[in-house]
Amino acid sequence: MLALRLTRAARPAVQLRRLLVAAASAGTGLLLLSSLGHALAHPEAADAAALRLAWCAAPLAATVYLALAVARTDPGTRPRPGLSAVGLGPARLMAVSALTTALSCSLGSLLALLVFLHLRGDLTGLPFDGAAAGLLAAGLPLPVPAAATLLTVLPVTATSAVAVALRPRDPRPPVRVPRRFGRFGAAGGSAGKETFGAYGRFGTRLPQAPGDRRTATTALLETEGDPPAPENAPEPPAPDTDADSPAGLPWGVALVTAGLAAQAYAGRSAPVPVLTVLLGWLLTGTGLVLAGPGLTHLCGRLLQAGRPGALRLLAGRGLMAEAARIGRPLGVVCAVASAGCALTALSGGPAPAFGPLSALGALVVGGATLATLLTAAVEARQYRAGHTAALLRLGARPALLRGAAALRAAVLPALFGPLVLAIAALSALPLSR
């Protein structure tokens, strides 16, 4: 009931994102059911049916990725002060997020079943003059357990992914205490290094109260007249870990190179090995996903090159801070775009290669990845709200902040666009000979 109330009371933007998850779930469910219909209509072609089912892994992964991004940006299930007192702790909020994702995906699966039955003619007769009868095995009995199993794959996978990703974690990092040995190998020992003769000094082995921060060295310094350091002395600044470059860029470049090499090797054979081509595309896509945060961080550094002003400095530091958050969805979009450009170049045009189901799969994958990128941008904006408010309090103009956001949005396509076109051309070149 709590998940239903939070779903109903959400803002229109949140409802729109949930509807996008439901729409992607409906498209993926329809593709899964169409593979079942093809298997029913052609029982002798088991390999073709298995290949159709395997191609559904791409829209399934894109939909699960979108559902996870939407669950992370849901403001209704974000931990806030005072919720634990009424029983809404991190575990309960994670369960609410998982249930909301399950509701959205189940709604999409139910819609896919209704559309599938309507196209088969099981509800009101064959629509579109029976154009989809051959694709969906119209007139043949539909196995209910198989259809139910296929339709439950997406809700279960998305709900499990959300539950694992949003599970409660301890915000404090674990403290590692190195094991020390005292004299003659005895366990324990003091935290600091003892000097020669410190063992026999008066007061060095006296037990102290837990709240007393004075050590024997401090007491000795006070005795000798040296004033101790004040307790409220400022601590040294912590290192800026957000500005560090992501570590996945070298691995991403290596995987992209290996994928392009595999595709070039596949193009040398007269019968092109399909498995080698698929392996090359998989390596290239994985490399782009891993290299996305590093390339985004590089864009931020390039914006600050030379003698940057306030506009370039704000835009560059923003990209460096958000590289880990928006870089990976941007890499996924680049992988999908490069694969689509390569397929279009191999087919000789956009029209001949795509049938209705292929167009639906491309629409689901492309739309889900693009929606995931936009959702990640919304999440980055939510995390940046505190810094934006602080800049406004310090006197920064709103036009400056809007200009920095526009500059960040413009510099990313300037780097990733030519990269996608180059990788697509290199992927299609060996196979088009």
Q: What is the pLDDT of residue 281?
A: 85
Residue pair 67/105 in contact by the 8 Å Cβ criterion: yes
Residue pair 107/25 in contact by the 8 Å Cβ criterion: yes
> Tokens 């081509």 — which residue?
277
More confident residue, 216 or 295: 295
- DSSP single-letter state for residue 433: -
Q: What is the pLDDT of residues 121-173, one digit of tens each?
A: 777 766 665 566 666 767 778 888 888 999 999 999 999 999 998 887 755 55
Dihedral of CA atoms 9, 14, 20, 25 in degrees, nearest 10, equals: -60
Q: What is the mean pLDDT of residues 229-254?
A: 59
Residue pair 408/296 in contact by the 8 Å Cβ criterion: no
Phi, then psi, of 243 in degrees rounded to 5: -85, -5
Alpha-carbon gap, residue 202 to 205, rounded angstroms:
8
Q: What is the pLDDT of residue 243?
A: 47
| Terminal Cα-to-Cα distance of the chain (whole angstroms) | 60
Q: What is the pLDDT of residues 204-213, one digit of tens each?
A: 444 444 444 4
Q: What is the pLDDT of residues 340-360, one digit of tens each?
A: 887 776 665 444 446 788 888
Per DSSP (E only), the strands in 244-290 are none
Alpha-carbon gap, residue 355 to 197, rounded angstroms:
86
Q: What is the pLDDT of residue 229?
A: 43
3-state secondary structure (DSSP) of residue 34:
helix
* % the chain with pLDDT above 90: 20
pLDDT at 272 over 70: no
Residue pair 93/169 in contact by the 8 Å Cβ criterion: no
Record the tokens describing residue 92, joined without a space. Answer: 């309960």
Dihedral of CA atoms 79, 80, 86, 89 in degrees, nearest 10, equals: 20
Residue pair 38/356 in contact by the 8 Å Cβ criterion: no
The Cβ-side half-sphere exposure at 256, using a 13 Å CA radius, reads: 23
User: Looking at the DSSP assignment, which residues form a beta bridge with residue 181?
Assistant: 187
Q: What is the mean pLDDT of residues 47-55?
A: 83
Alpha-carbon gap, residue 115 to 30, rounded angstroms:
8
Q: What are the extents of the domains in the chain? A: 2-79+86-165, 249-428
Q: What is the pLDDT of residue 161?
A: 92
The answer to whether the pTM exceeds 0.85 is no
Q: Is the dihedral of CA 141, 144, 149, 155 positive or negative?
A: positive
